[in-house]
Structure 1
Amino acid sequence: MKGVSWESVIAVLGLAVPVTAALWEFFLAGRKRLGYRVQMDTTVRDSSTSGPETRVFQRMQWDGRTLTDPSVVLLRIENAGWSPIVESDYVAPATDPVGVSIAFPGRRVVGMAVTERSRNVPRSFFTPDRPGFAATDGVIRLPKVILNRRAHYKVLAVLDREAGFDDTEFPDPEVTAGVVGGVRGGTARKTEYSPFASRPVRWLLAVLVLVSVAQSVSTFARGEEAAAAPLDCAAGTLRLSGSTAFRPVLELAAEQYTKTCPNARIPLSDGSFEGSVPGLDTLAAAGDAAAPADGAGLGDRLAFSDGPKSDGRPRLLPRPVALSLFTLVVNPDTGVRDLSLRQVRDLYAGRITNWRQVGGDDLPVRLVSRNPGSGTRTALQRRVLDDRPLPAVTANDCRSLDTGRAGRCEVADTPVLLDTVASVPGALGHSEVGAAAAHRGVRQVRIDGFPATLEGADQGAYPYWETEIAYTYGEPPADSIAAGFLRYLADEVGKDVIRSQGHRPCAELDEPLLCRPDGR
């Protein structure tokens, strides 16, 4: 063709072929696509560290039974195609209510729950009496759920190692499902990497991209660079510090974030989590040393606090993350299971010195508390004791408390506190609920008849809770790893991680104002 260059022909083909391939893939071949994503698959060995908090994980139980090697898997089942999937589309006999089966080689299912679903996916699909919704013989069976375009639901499974399975790593979950007339035979496929095109189309696109790159290297180089990292991923190292109670959430979230963002590093060391106030001190000291310009902030540090900071730190800015729940714990030999709010205040004021005064056994009251700076301790004084101070320390070592009279001692972290309460007769302490529930040697105490539940705290019936707040030094840059990690915690997977550790994302509360920075 006279006057038409080969570069122009390549440019026209570069537009026409991808458009044709997309029309074929999505509107013809891609009408139906049942997909799944493994959004989390972690074991206690993966999410624990060598610090003392490991003991909380090692004591994980289910229905009173200790799990030998527990793990948690979060699966997302979705309609990744362009056409709705109805019950008759599933490749299964009409009399079989099961649409999707999920097996976990080397592991058995000890519990499951549907944690999230699209608005147009009715809850009635997942009621206990629904045919096809069950976990038996180590396999999760899900009903033939009707899924409109882009609809999804998530299944959270708690698993334990099968006896006789000796491999170090567990195989991936095996999802068995299919739809009639679907892409590639209708078999359910993994969608972690968004398979937008079939293999022949991808090869054709690759050839066209190479030709186009040869024609305009700079344009396509910029396009490749922009697409290199997922949304909200940032390169660099993020330092976390603060609350020991919220550390398990941060360990799991950091692990998942760095898997998604390979250029990010979030090292967690024992010295980083010594309590809310020490964490805020660390953040403030790092900011003062860096001395960022007015209006700027640190992009590589975050501190997490059980409740708001004290006055005098104007450069530390709050971001409420979750509602955290705490509980009073006692040694079982006290004979106490329920205390009124007034009795709790009298115990910490020294007006009640023997458990028989509140209907318990004849033992002196021995208070085991966290050191000053602990968010758990601050929440106790603020929420339960009406800002009253704790009585004086009578023993520097909890093991040396006088066995004949009441007294108080202090310890550094939650695991040590729980071990101390379990071993000291007549002991009373305070802890984050998840750690207390995992410890077999202590008993949780109701307050005014109400157990420690998120629903009770959300509705104002249970008093011992606090807002978990992430603090930054100034405003971190929008493209920094600190800003990206905060967005991740507020996103779907981040909220799943928070929920899995017994906390409640602020956005899901009936009364979201409970999560405002002043915590009132």
Structure 2
Amino acid sequence: MFKTKSKIALVGTTLVALMVLVGCGQTAAPSTPTPTPSAATTIDKKTISAAGSTALQPLVKLAADEFMAKNAGVQVNISGGGSMTGLNNVASGAIEIGNSDVLAPDELKSQGLVDHEVCVAPFILIANKDVTIDNLTKAQAADIFTGKITNWKDVGGQDEKISIIGRAASSGTRLNVEKIVMDGQKMSDAAAAQDSTGNLLTGVGQTPGAIGYIDAAYLKDTVKALKFNGVAFSADAVTSGQYPIYSYEHMYTKGEATGTVKLFLDYINSPEFQDQNVEKSGFIPSTKMKK
């Protein structure tokens, strides 16, 4: 009987000891699941494409170069074609990002486009250097671009034919000039249509009597920048409300951005990129605007 009691006591002691050990183990090292990175914030594609606005293209290209340098093996392809081309292509799924100087029209927004605002792009009216005037009023500029005024002498300049060099109908820069400068009127059919801001700049610089419009980031000393309503372009003139020819720049995705696309958009909107690159590239941070 003594042996039986001893065995029972031994078994009981062993069970208590095991329970204590298990309990101590749970207290010292609780089981915590390891979080897994969200698919929305990790590299999921090695190649993404952005196209559209040639006004915004230099800034997006700079962001792409820096982003690729920080993410080995990732390729970001950038091309132009005009804002409406970018919007239509992202809506169809042909590209991941559509760059635009204008808001997407309702018929494209209804296809699931999501707007990512990145900065402000100012636009400048430019003329060939042989043009003797330095300023155009809004009414004068509108009459020139609609074709009502065809000679510089009618706005105080020399007796010389005005040659309009503009952009194709798909251009966001053209749409903004029509909206802001021309109050919604359409550009004259006589205007030569260039497929990029760079080509328009070259055309105005090489054509006597020419006038056009470009994104401020492209301005070179090969052309003359015109004042608008007596105000010369400057970043301060835009942010103070004195200079009205500008647009908010957009990068559209079809649906919410995820993976590599989200990481790229987050980078271009990051303080690191915005503070170092936006203003020196000829653009204005959206945060500086008085909305």
Question: Given the two structures, how large is their TM-score scaled by the length of structure 2?
Answer: 0.81
The residue number in structure 1 matching 2:80 is 273
State the superposition RMSD in angstroms.
Answer: 2.4
Matched-pair contact (CA < 8 Å) for 1:242–1:274: yes
Matched-pair contact (CA < 8 Å) for 1:238–1:482: yes
What whole-Å deviation, never above 9, does each CA across 1:345-395 have from its counterpart, x for those lacking one? 1212323221111111110111111011111111101111111111223xx
Measured after TM superposition, the shift of residue 499 of structure 1 is: 2.5
The residue number in structure 2 matching 1:9 is none
- In structure 1, distance between residues paired with 2:282 and 2:41: 26
Where does structure 1 differ by over 6 angstroms across 4 or more consecutive aligned residues? none
1:348-367 paired onto structure 2 within 5 Å: 348-367=145-164
Match of 1:243 among 49, 53, 57: 53
Aligned residues: 257
Matched-pair contact (CA < 8 Å) for 1:233–1:261: no
The residue number in structure 2 matching 1:320 is 117
Percent identity at matched positions?
A: 26
Look up the equivalent residue of 2:192 and give its one-letter code. Answer: C
The residue number in structure 1 matching 2:7 is none
Match of 1:433 among 216, 224, 234: 216
Look up the equivalent residue of 1:234 and give its one-letter code. Answer: I
The residue number in structure 2 matching 1:201 is none
The residue number in structure 2 matching 1:104 is none
Matched-pair contact (CA < 8 Å) for 1:235–1:263: no
The residue number in structure 2 matching 1:234 is 43
Look up the equivalent residue of 2:232 and give its one-letter code. Answer: P
Match of 2:279 among 499, 502, 516: 499
- In structure 1, distance between residues paired with 2:234 and 2:170: 25
What whole-Å deviation, never above 9, does each CA across 1:89-140 have from its counterpart, x for those lacking one? xxxxxxxxxxxxxxxxxxxxxxxxxxxxxxxxxxxxxxxxxxxxxxxxxxxx
Matched-pair contact (CA < 8 Å) for 1:338–1:445: yes
1:471–1:276 CA distance, 2 compared to 1 (3 A): same
* Alignment pair present for 1:253 and 2:63: yes
- In structure 2, distance between residues paired with 1:491 and 1:415: 28
More helix by share: 2
The residue number in structure 2 matching 1:128 is none
Look up the equivalent residue of 2:50 and give its one-letter code. Answer: L
Look up the equivalent residue of 1:377 and give its one-letter code. Answer: R
- In structure 1, distance between residues paired with 2:146 and 2:289: 34
- In structure 2, distance between residues paired with 1:260 and 1:328: 37
- In structure 2, distance between residues paired with 1:301 and 1:493: 23
Give unmatched runs, 5+ long, in structure 1. 1-218, 288-299, 394-407, 514-520
What whole-Å deviation, never above 9, does each CA across 1:319-338 have from its counterpart, x for those lacking one? 21111011011011121111
* Alignment pair present for 1:307 and 2:102: yes
- In structure 1, distance between residues paired with 2:92 and 2:289: 37
Matched-pair contact (CA < 8 Å) for 1:368–1:429: yes
Measured after TM superposition, the shift of residue 235 of structure 1 is: 4.1
Look up the equivalent residue of 2:280 and give its one-letter code. Answer: S
The residue number in structure 2 matching 1:448 is 229
- In structure 1, distance between residues paired with 2:240 and 2:140: 22
* Alignment pair present for 1:467 and 2:254: no
What whole-Å deviation, never above 9, does each CA across 1:224-276 have from its counterpart, x for those lacking one? x97xxxx95524222111111111111111111122222432133xxx31111
* Alignment pair present for 1:336 and 2:133: yes
Match of 2:143 among 343, 346, 354: 346
